[in-house]
Amino acid sequence: MQIFKVGGAVRDRLLGKPVTDIDWVVVGATTEEMLAQGYRPVGADFPVFLHPKSGEEYALARTERKSGRGYGGFTFHASPEVTLEEDLIRRDLTINAMAEDDQQNLTDPYHGQRDLEERILRHVSPAFAEDPLRVLRVARFAARYAELDFKVAPETLELMRQLSESGELEALTAERSWKEISRALMEDQPQMFIQVLRDCGALKVLMPEVDALFGVPQPEAHHPEIDSGIHTLSVLEQSALHKQPLTVRWACLLHDLGKGLTPEEEWPRHIAHEHKGLKLIKAVNERFKAPKDCQELALLVGQYHTHGHRALELKASTLLELLQSFDVYRRPQRFEEFIAACEMDARGRKGLEQRSYPQAEYLRGAAKAAREVAVQPLLEQGFKGPELGEALKRERLKALETYKEACAS
């Protein structure tokens, strides 16, 4: 029995990055031998065991063969005869197909260390094209290592293009797709994830609503970058630079989908794109079964982001409607995330990345003024039921009018 550290732990150590998750492969062992040493079995698909003390996962070396469509369409074979090289060749990228023993002696049959040095994301073998999930994984690695100037190898991009055209991407489950998408959006350069998906044709399969934004112009006076797709990538980039949570990043990706529906004869204007985009945002939300908080914020940002930009011009009554839509009294954090998404949208414009966004503090102040209206005095005046709600609304409107006047003076 031989035990090797494999995959990301080896890759990141060689890159000088922190090692978080460690994967182990056991060569030359049987299930019975693992159980006899106190390892606990996990799952039924293939032999994976938990270490009796550390709880880390140890997998028997295995080979795999394509047996159906999608990510799950594989049969696995694990036995003591499977070599380390046979186990490594089934992995996606050469930089993930290295192993080392407890003395840090490197086993690198597919030249992963060379590709690390040359900053290349390259597939290990033609079997790469058997797993459609790898299209998303490679795009995610491109986002993760963009800061180190990693690029996808042309031949790997071509395989990803073939996969995108094969119909295999449609076989991916929403859960598996969302896991990769959400992880990619939380990388330091999530815009590279979208760009690589677009480069290989996967974006128009997975998110045609986002792909449709590329080539659609916007008024140059407001958007010096002009292209709606480029703007979306820039907004996503800003959301990462400002360390925004997943909810905000997801909303940033989807906020302008309505612009993809604008007839060409109306370009570069996009009248009512906020409302038109809601059905598209809803469709993308449902396609990937995004978490509820991501879904809700994406829809609200899509509908109201131009309200955010025009906050200082809004009437007190419109401000109140905006605050009510977000339920700022019970869910203040959601409104804070809306403000963040609006600011990322404003900064995601060529040459305007550093421009101040006074609307943010103004909206926070408006929410504070509305929240500070006390209910108790109204109760003491005898208001109750629907009448209490109307009275509370009137008092909040007065508070916002006073707030606006104070800000204007």
Query: Which pLDDT score is estimated for 44?
Result: 67
**Within-domain flag for 92:** yes
**Within-domain flag for 352:** no
Query: Which pLDDT score is estimated for 72?
Result: 52
Question: Average pLDDT, stretch 379-385?
Answer: 90
**Within-domain flag for 308:** no
Query: Which pLDDT score is estimated for 79?
Result: 86
The whole domain housing 19 covers 1-110
What CATH number has the domain bearing residue 65?
Answer: 3.30.460.10
Question: Average pLDDT, stretch 187-212?
Answer: 98
**Within-domain flag for 89:** yes
At 63, is the pLDDT very low, low, confident or very high (cuts 50, 70, 90)? confident
Contacts of 273 (CB under 8 A, 6+ apart): 256, 258, 259, 261, 262
Number of folded domains that form the chain: 1
Q: What is the DSSP annotation of 124-151?
A: SSGGGGG-THHHHHHHHHHHHTGGGT-E
Residue-wise pLDDT tens digits, 343-379: 999 999 999 999 999 999 999 999 999 999 999 999 9
**Within-domain flag for 161:** no
Question: Average pLDDT, stretch 95-103?
Answer: 96
Query: Which pLDDT score is estimated for 116?
Result: 98
**Within-domain flag for 48:** yes
Query: Which pLDDT score is estimated for 45?
Result: 65
Query: Which pLDDT score is estimated for 409?
Result: 82
Helix (H, G, I), strand (E, B) or coil at 54: coil
**Within-domain flag for 150:** no
**Within-domain flag for 95:** yes
Query: Which pLDDT score is estimated for 369?
Result: 97
Q: What is the dihedral of CA 226, 229, 235, 236, to 10 degrees?
A: -160
Query: Which pLDDT score is estimated for 170?
Result: 92
Query: Which pLDDT score is estimated for 210?
Result: 98
